[in-house]
Amino acid sequence: MSGTELITKWDACLDFIRDNVTEAVFNAWFTVIKPISLEAGELTVQVPSAFVYEYLEQNCLEVFKAALTKVFGRGTRLMYSILTDKENELTQDISSTNSPSSGIKGTRESGNNSPSATDAALVQDLNPQLNPKYLFENFVEGTSNKLARTAGETIAQNPAKSAFNPLFIYGSSGVGKTHLVNAIGMKIRELHPEKRILYISAHLFHVQYVDAVRNNNVNDFIHFYQTIDVLIIDDMQELAGYVKTQNTFFHIFNHLHLNHKQLIMTSDRPPKDLKDLEERLITRFKWGLVAELEHPDLELRKDILRDKTRRDGLRFPEQVIDYIAQNVTDNVRDLEGVIVSIMAHATIYRKEIDLELTHEVLEKSQHREKKPITIEGIINKVCDYYNISADSIQTKSRKHEIVQVRQISMYLAKKYLDYSTTKIGSYIGKRDHATVLHACNMVRDQIQVDRNFKSDVENIESSLQC
């Protein structure tokens, strides 16, 4: 198809889509798409980032498919060319989930899919139910997860041949348990393709067991699980109270462990705190390694944000990364959610990604108690940033670095506190109101012309708003 004909048909696609979505959605997500080629029934379109690709796939795929069918014909496949590096024009090609060649087929818990040992096709072609997006390569290491990650990497090299069998990982929601155990499974699959691996949630395991009882094929159910080489069960706390399911899992666990198969489990709490689980199960959970995934510390949060934005082809200023890391402290999922929210706001409302937009998004999405800003707090933050004693700005010194710290303190006090210039001057160096006004003007002017100075002031402001 010629370039002119492709553009004409793509415009017809856009006309159809415009009639079926809101103007805001159309302008934000479809006007940024560029048609590249149509070959052998496959339409390739370029999108500016992985974020746009993910949004389209998750929220607009049905209308996209309808437009392709109407304009290009039934069976047209969709391929995205994601621009990962604008400067060097590097791209990554990914099939849409409406295409037979899509990289991700199904979901980990799609339907019941209760196993049966008599189903030869299922035994031969076991779907491990792993999420291919969760890898060691995008699991950012820090002090809070180093033990569990190192154990996982050891297991991946030699499943069931280390002291880490079983591996029991616990931690609160959103700290990366599911990501890590999937990464272990994906690495084992890569290094040991002959291994039969299965990832499943404890809830789905229970549902399958109930179905097996109802259909009178519990023996087949147990036999199927006894053929697994690497069994990964997520959220073990979900078995609490289900005594018969626990008994069945106990026998499966014993069989696999005695036959040198690898067991990996996660929970939101350590084994000793699991209520309504049989003591004999809890004892077995402690046979190998029990490792906690803690809340990520500040440096790890920054590293996670940098990694997330880089992989999505996004550019976030460093002061924005710092501000998010200082204010979103609970878990990795919240950090990633904030990135998505900021990007959505920037795209839909055509705003620059800066500290002001970040503050606005976090105020809407994060319910946190704000610490009051005080003049003492301002002085301490500015002095700490420049590594200058707070006492020095109260002297009559005219050294440049001390004058600068004094002026920034005055500027921020005027911006954030309902204080008169006279009151600010009395707190900072015992200066008069004219000196405070001069300081505010000097700082404001320098922000306009000195990018590094502006960045310093914004970083101090970020720390003030924590």
**Residue boundaries of the structural domains of the chain:** 3-95, 120-292, 298-365, 375-464
Q: Which CATH number fits domain 3-95: 3.30.300.180, 3.40.50.720, 3.90.1150.10, 3.30.450.20?
A: 3.30.300.180
Between CA 196 and CA 201, with CA 200 as vertex, the angle to 5 degrees is 160
**Torsion angle (degrees, nearest 10) of CA 51, 56, 57, 60:** 160
Encoded tokens for 206: 């229970």
CA separation for the pair 134, 108 (Å, rounded): 12
**Count of other CB atoms within 10 angstroms of residue 81:** 17
C-alpha 39, offset from chain centre:
35
For residue 170, the one-letter residue type is Y
Domain 298-365 has CATH 1.10.8.60: yes
Question: If you count them, how many residues does the chain have?
Answer: 466
**Exposure of 109 by Cβ count < 10 A (0-12 exposed, 13-18 middle, 19+ buried)?**
middle
120-292: CATH topology is Rossmann fold (3.40.50)
DSSP code for 142: -
Q: Tally the C-alpha atoms within 13 A of residue 301's C-alpha that lie toward its C-beta.
A: 25
Beta bridge partners of 165: none
pLDDT score for 225: 93
Give Cβ neighbours of residue 193 (< 8 Å, ≥ 6 apart).
Answer: none
The arrangement of strands across the sheet holding 34-39 comes to 34-39, 42-47, 77-85, 90-95
Q: What is the largest CA-CA distance in the chain?
A: 89
pLDDT score for 366: 56
**Which segments of 77-188 are extended strands (E)?**
77-85, 90-95, 167-170
Domain 375-464 has CATH 1.10.10.10: no
Pairing type for strands 262-267 and 230-234 reads parallel
Q: Of 165, 119, 158, 459, nearest to 285 (Cα)?
A: 165
The owner of tokens 């856009």 is: 14
CA separation for the pair 389, 403 (Å, rounded): 13
Encoded tokens for 135: 């890898």
Contact 197, 185 (CB under 8 A): yes
pLDDT score for 466: 61
CA separation for the pair 228, 316 (Å, rounded): 44
CA separation for the pair 385, 383 (Å, rounded): 5
Q: Of 390, 377, 393, 380, nearest to 435 (Cα)?
A: 393
189-196 own/partner pairs: CB under 8 Å, 24+ apart: 189/128, 189/130, 191/156, 191/157, 192/159, 195/159, 195/229, 195/230, 196/126, 196/227, 196/228, 196/229, 196/230
DSSP code for 28: I
94-101 own/partner pairs: CB under 8 Å, 24+ apart: 94/53, 96/57, 96/61, 96/64, 97/57, 97/61, 98/61, 98/64, 98/65, 99/42, 101/77
Give Cβ neighbours of residue 401 (< 8 Å, ≥ 6 apart).
Answer: 386, 388
- The torsion angles phi and psi of 197, rounded to 5 degrees, stand at -115, 140
- The torsion angles phi and psi of 368, rounded to 5 degrees, stand at -135, 150
Q: Of 155, 139, 240, nearest to 189 (Cα)?
A: 155
Mean pLDDT by 10 residues, the chain (466 residues): 85 89 82 90 86 80 88 88 70 66 34 42 66 89 88 93 92 87 95 93 91 90 92 92 92 91 94 88 91 85 84 81 83 79 82 84 64 86 90 89 93 88 89 91 88 88 75
